[in-house]
Amino acid sequence: MRYPIEKIPLSSLLLPISVAGEALVRLDERLTHSEVGSGLIERMHYSDAVGSLWVDGELVHVEDLVFHDARMDTRTPTHELTVAHLVLRSRRDITQHPAAWALSNQGLSRLRGRALGDGVAPVSDASEPVSELEMEGASPDPDAAFMAELDEFDAILRRSETLMAQVALERKAVLERDRAAIVYDADWNEPQRLQDWQELLSEVDAFPPVLAAAILLDAWQSEEVSEHSPWLGRLLAAAYLRKTGTTTCHLTAISVGLRAVGRERRHSKNRTQRLLAILEAFEQAARQGMNEHDRLLLARGALERRIKGRRSSSKLPELIDLVLSRPLVSAGLVAKTLNTTPQGALKLIAELPLRELTGRGRFRAWGIL
């Protein structure tokens, strides 16, 4: 079903578009030249992953996500935690690739967890090589005859390996088809919905980038493009902002902004109200990012004053960078990252005015004030 873009009331959206665009550009510019920019960007990945699950009606604690990402789980990961970690890894994938990658066929296939080719690779023709002795019709050299036999053995082994690989690929394809029949609705027709959304991607290029991103997100949500990945639309909208140059340094944490917008507005039957809600979410995401940036900048200054005059081999500067790039850290995470012992990590943590956040025995965690 095609998403109509002809009757979008631009006059009522111009001011929100301008406000949201200004906030996004201002945050991006500040992150580009800030000494805490990389730490804030990493924190935004965690916040947006947790916020994405919250928007979809699930709850994930940020400390569980941090520990799960470091492979230091305190309990068996839940399905919601696994999805949040998938969002986190997807955000990192998008930022590590060129700006247009996420919206390309290759990027969409990877982010959706699908392979580009659904077929089975053909078997290569590993025929036996004809030896020089056979071509000449003579075998005067015993060593040459022995080498020719070895070549024949190698050819047989190559054919066997190729056939075994073909059988494995066919078996994998059958298993994937059976799994898809159980997990996916046959009437959903996700490929067609995705194709319609990709056609919309080229149609919205005539709009301002901020409005185009809002339209793409609303289309993804209202048309329910993905059966199992509603969160992907928010990442793709943020990737569109990055592709168009609105944000060049960071990937907008749209889910963080959506948490500040009422559910009634986000799910309104009126498309204009939904677009206004999305534009406000863009603005809120940028403003919360600015506030967090100022907080981290003050915290970094306070922490650096505490370690002034320390020897150059001290690991406290590395600990400061780690604390600024994570919502919280544990002794095990510090020990693993800084390559020290747990006891040494506790001593380093005690050197800084960090706040203990959990108090869960061996799973104690700290963060900045």
Question: For the chain, what are the domain ranges?
Answer: 10-118+185-298, 132-183, 307-367
Q: Which of 22, 220, 245, 268 is nearest to 111 (CA)?
A: 220
C-alpha 228/C-alpha 193 separation (Å) is 13
First to last CA, the chain: 50
In tens, the pLDDT along 85-144 reads: 999 999 999 999 999 999 999 999 999 886 444 444 444 444 444 444 444 444 456 677
C-alpha 245/C-alpha 209 separation (Å) is 9
C-alpha 368/C-alpha 352 separation (Å) is 9
Q: Which of 355, 337, 350 is nearest to 42 (CA)?
A: 337
Contacts of 75 (CB under 8 A, 6+ apart): 64
In tens, the pLDDT along 225-243 reads: 888 889 999 999 999 999 9
Share of the chain above pLDDT 90, in %: 53
Neighbour count for residue 43 (Cβ, 10 Å): 21
**227 CA to centre of own chain:** 18
Question: The tokens of 219 are what?
Answer: 């289309």
Q: Which of 278, 240, 6 is nearest to 108 (CA)?
A: 240
Q: Which of 60, 84, 83, 85 is nearest to 70 (CA)?
A: 85
C-alpha 178/C-alpha 26 separation (Å) is 49
As a whole number, mean pLDDT of residues 180-189 equals 60
Judge contact between 17 and 208, C-beta under 8 A: yes
> Using 50, 70 and 90 to split pLDDT, how confident is the model at 178?
low
Under CATH, which number does the domain 10-118+185-298 receive? Answer: 1.10.3290
C-alpha 17/C-alpha 164 separation (Å) is 57
C-alpha 34/C-alpha 229 separation (Å) is 33
In tens, the pLDDT along 268-312 reads: 999 999 999 999 999 999 999 999 999 999 999 999 898 888 877
pTM of the model: 0.78
| Mean model confidence pLDDT for the chain | 86
Neighbour count for residue 62 (Cβ, 10 Å): 19
Q: What is the DSSP string of 116-149?
A: S--SPPPPP--PPPPPHHHHHT----HHHHHHHH
Q: Which of 70, 295, 330 is nearest to 319 (CA)?
A: 330
Judge contact between 275 and 218, C-beta under 8 A: yes
Positive or negative, the CA dihedral 311, 313, 316, 322 is positive
> Using 50, 70 and 90 to split pLDDT, how confident is the model at 210?
very high
C-alpha distances (whole Å) from 91 to each of 47, 94, 238, 291 are 11, 5, 10, 21
- Tell me the residue length of the chain: 369
Judge contact between 85 and 73, C-beta under 8 A: no
In tens, the pLDDT along 30-80 reads: 999 998 999 999 999 999 999 999 999 999 999 899 889 988 887 889 999
Query: Across 145-149, 156-160, 222-226, 258-262, which has the greatest mean pLDDT?
Result: 258-262
Q: Which CATH class is domain 307-367?
A: mainly alpha
Judge contact between 329 and 363, C-beta under 8 A: no
Whether pLDDT at 8 is above 60: yes
Q: Count the helix, strand and coil residues of the chain and give each as a percent rounded to the nearest 5.
A: 65, 0, 35
Report which of residues 146 and 230 the model is more confident about: 230
Long-range contacts of range 153-160, CB-CB < 8 Å, 24 or more positions apart?
A: 155/126, 155/127, 155/128, 155/129, 156/128, 158/126, 159/126
